[in-house]
Chains A and B, each alone.
Chain A
């Protein structure tokens, strides 16, 4: 099946999400090409596995709709049937625009898909991962938004062998571009993640988590509730609308474990949960559950590690 992956650039290379989808597409033996949208000057995004096209945006205007129009053209000219993108801000915008152009509703939050005798079928995780929802796509084109960490990334060597198409800017000028400073281990690739929830009571108490994280060389995450409260930047949110993590050890501190949070962490290898409420749903996912006050347990951990 002729397949187009919408690629994204992180640190001058293809993002891990793009490589995960490429890995899956290769394992299904799909006839695949990547069309990457970004604004980097000289990215190294060519891959020897397949054709790569770079749609270069101006970062001083919002012109994703123009990028989508260009991708629609490629899809029509090359008779593409399957369009894949990662569930990121940019790909959600692009795939949504494309779905209108192609008159084919996309499937969001896909964790697995298959292609057999010309048909695409998908699997979604619903109810916080308690159930799998299966769909068959009956339109000529299938558009899928795939959750990060659903597949193993393909190993690639990047090269500079790709065509670049410059996109026009739009009238919508973008200013005050702010790049969040990232220090310490990052959520997506850290072996240990410590996440904080409302049970931390006060923003000041996050210092306890920071101390523990530096001792364990861990990345720090949080629930939507505390991100909304302004205790942590959005980039550290773990869950449905935030990041998906899959560390060796996940330590949930004062997190009740709403299904929206579970989606982002349930595939962690070993889960330690500390919560006052014995009935908190997080304990169903925990390999080691401590029923107790996070604010008294963590200081003791910090003193003894």
Chain B
């Protein structure tokens, strides 16, 4: 079984996202998107049961490759990435085009994603990749049971439903779906000798265009100049009064 897992390097989410000409500004050192840790965890659990090869696929400015290292530290075998100036500010379709080409080049049977990235959160790339690869997409997976069969539980608008994982498919995993593992010192050292390969965009078939044109970012005044009261035991009374005034009680 060959598994490709998507890992996105993003600016440290502790800092506010900043934009330059409509594109997210990316520092040299980016980190692994926590959202992707859930997908990587699922891949590693499959590897443990089925002896799979797990390859990280990634697109975007590679910089110090810290995020890729973090993905390898969890236990993936190797990483391939595309980093090309022509992809700066790539829309979701272009991103999916590149990632599906990478998955194809690896002959991946199973391609796994988080549900949406923390910085761009368009939430469409896993489904788009499945369409490019002509595979079914099992989206919003919130639980995985691995026995001889693999049973996936999908989140639906009304509740949930289960499916058996087919031999080939694309999966997106919701945050909280599984418990991502923390690498130990040995894992961190081992990751340093794992292969990371850059793939040239000229080796891939890309036929998407930048159909979305950035116009403008406008700041809106959001903050309210509300009352702020420090509770010294009686602040509940302020809430009660306000709820009466608003005719809630």
Contacts and interface: CB of A to CB of B under 8 A. Distances in A.
B176 A305 contact: no
Given A127-B16, A287-B224, A100 B96 contact: yes
Chain B's interface size range is 35 or more
Given A99-B93, A228-B175, A249-B246, A127 B17 contact: yes
A179 B236 contact: no
Contacts of B136: 62, 65, 170, 172
Given A287-B226, A293-B231, A305 B162 contact: no
Interface in B222-248: 222-224, 226-231, 233, 235-240, 242-243, 246, 248
A176 B161 contact: yes
Contacts, number: 246
A93 B137 contact: yes
Nearest to B95: A105
Interface stretch (B72-80, B101-109, B116-124): B116-124
Contact of A105 (B94, B121, B163, B222): B94
Nearest to A128: B222
Given A179-B159, A286-B224, A290-B238, A105 B211 contact: yes
A172 B137 CA distance: 10
Contact of B92 (A106, A177, A228): A106
A301 B160 CA distance: 36
A136 interface: yes
A248 B211 contact: no
B215 A135 contact: yes
Given A105-B208, A132-B218, A288-B238, A97 B127 contact: yes
Contacts of A99: 92-93, 124, 128
A234 to B, nearest CB: 6
A139 B246 CA distance: 48
B182 interface: no
A104 B228 contact: no
A284 B223 contact: yes
Contacts of B96: 100
Interface stretch (A18-26, A46-54, A266-274): A266-274
Contacts of A270: 242, 246
Interface string A114-126: 0000000100001
Contact of A177 (B161, B218, B230): B161
A228 B176 contact: yes
Contacts of A293: 231
Interface stretch (A84-92, A152-160, A199-207): A84-92
29 contacts: A62-B136, A64-B137, A65-B130, A87-B123, A96-B124, A97-B127, A97-B137, A99-B93, A100-B132, A101-B131, A105-B94, A129-B222, A131-B219, A133-B214, A135-B214, A137-B212, A174-B162, A175-B161, A180-B158, A180-B159, A216-B249, A228-B175, A234-B142, A241-B123, A288-B227, A289-B227, A289-B229, A297-B231, A304-B237
In order of increasing CB-CB distance, the 9 nearest A-B pairs are: A292-B231, A96-B127, A228-B176, A105-B93, A105-B91, A139-B211, A100-B131, A300-B236, A180-B159
